[in-house]
Amino acid sequence: MLENILRKHHVILGSKSPRRKQFLKELNISFESRTIDTPEVYPEKYKEEEITEFLADLKCKAIQLTAQELLITADTIVWSKNKALEKPKDHVEAYQMLSELSGSSHQVITSVCLATTKKKKIFTDKTIVYFKQLTSEEINYYIENYKPYDKAGGYGIQEWIGLIGVTKIEGSYANVVGLPAEKLYNELKNF
């Protein structure tokens, strides 16, 4: 399936995310992780995929490649009420985010950058997630037990909160976890 691209290139994943690593393993892609801490700062006027595309590209530019390497970088945000919810800094911020998401819908937006020394392609996927009205006990229980400080929007759909709180999604489940795997597979085939 992906043999042509994988035969020609050594894949580098520019991410520390255990979820993104797991998706690549499940796609049977051999890869090496290589990251450089890049401040996730973007122009204030940016909205939705402008933010994630900018940050995926920023992460890509930070990593030097050889001619044999193919780099995959990505960025995910939760877009709710016309603003980006990134990773919460602490319990208070996670509680505020989950309270905002409670009883409403939001978008999870992930942009992925594929790059070699000769070529670059950025693509984006969006999924709409619907939450039931969460109680403060449910929100506090989740934050205390799952510590979602490494997750955009303060939650992981694959965790307890997703099982008890998400009533419906429109789009890719994998995208909400952090990498639109089906889209990535097709983009790699055509890269």
pLDDT digits (tens, 9 = 90+) for 20-44: 999 999 999 999 999 998 888 999 9
As a whole number, the mean pLDDT across the chain is 95
Annotation says 57 is catalytic: no
Q: Single out the residue of 117, 24, 119 nearest to residue 74, CA to CA.
A: 24
* Residue 15 lies in domain: 3-190
Residues of the chain with pLDDT under 70: 1
Which of the 8 DSSP states describes residue 154? G
pLDDT at residue 16 in the model: 92
Comparing CA positions, the residue from 101, 109, 136, 100 lying closest to residue 42 is 109
Question: Residue 119: which CATH number?
Answer: 3.90.950.10
Q: Which residue has the tokens 């050594």?
A: 10
The residue from 75, 90, 125, 150 that is catalytic is: 75
Sign of CA dihedral 88, 17, 59, 5: negative
pLDDT of residue 40: 87
How many folded domains does the chain comprise? Answer: 1
pLDDT of residue 4: 75
